[in-house]
Amino acid sequence: MTIVKPVIIVHGGAKTISENDVAANQAGCRAAIEAGWAVLIQGGSAAGAVEAAIRVLESDQTFNAGFGATLNSEGEVEVDAAMMEGATLGWGAVAAVQGVRHPIVVARKIMEEKPRLLVARSGERFARNHAVEICAKEALVSEEQYQEWKEEIEVLDRPNTVGCVALDADGNLVAGTSTGGTTGQPQGRVGDTALVGCGLYADNQLGACSTTGDGESIIPVVLAKTAIDALKDKHPDAAAQWAIDTLISRVEGEAGCILIDRQGRIGWAHNSPDMAVAYMSEDLVQPAIFTRKDQTLVQSL
């Protein structure tokens, strides 16, 4: 019997990280990876680990997911999230929902009940009917995001989708993504995050991927599936870079992706200036944390 070593990786979005926000991005990714890793080392599922990690990111206004997400054209927070597992190719997603504190929880419940994408009021109704934490839609608007929206401030640290990929001791792979979309987006706009093959993909025969970046650029190149298909003959690092290179060669835009293959090997790449990433495995004493790919290890905490 093959022994599978659990591994988990998270990203805080393909974006520019200013010097003032480096510590916050590192701390947020560290907290997320620790939450997910705690599930895995206790024998928990990859789905549980992905949910735990992304819940942390959705609670941290450093990231564009849940509380602190960007505001749309009407000054509202509309969030998207999805989860996919590689054993049966099961998936679930919500898009353009309001007043849901942790959309990744809703996505997981949909995945476990019946694969589908629920939008707006349909997604909100599902959340209420399944006892997912609901809040006033204004409760997800951070003061910082509101002021930036109200004053139309150009923000250096362009926020973006967060995500997580995990492999558990049973050999199951799961990917998850969560986002608040883009600043000032039209009400009801849906990007790549909730779309299987674009914002995420998981297949136990190959690997799992979560993407981040410009949704309108990620969708036409089906970035997550493109990266997964590359695992047939490439290491995850090479597959991730090949997927990003494919995007660059066909469309304009910034993007990033994280990968774990069925052997538990990690890979990631991005063409944005920065992308906060953290990962953990049994081979590490502490999580490895980076703020961009070409950087020496930030810290092993």
Residues at the annotated binding site?
189-192, 212-215
SS3 state of residue 20: helix
Instruction: Provide the annotated binding site for substrate.
Output: 189-192, 212-215
- As a 3-state breakdown, the chain gives helix, strand, coil percent values, each rounded to 5, of 30, 25, 40
How many helices (H) and strands (E) in the chain?
8, 13
Local structure of residue 254 (DSSP, 8 states): -
Catalytic machinery residues: 161
Structure tokens at 65: 């997911």
Identify the three-state secondary structure at position 242: helix
Q: What is the DSSP string of 267-299?
A: EEEESSSEEEEEEEETT-SS-EEESSTTS---E
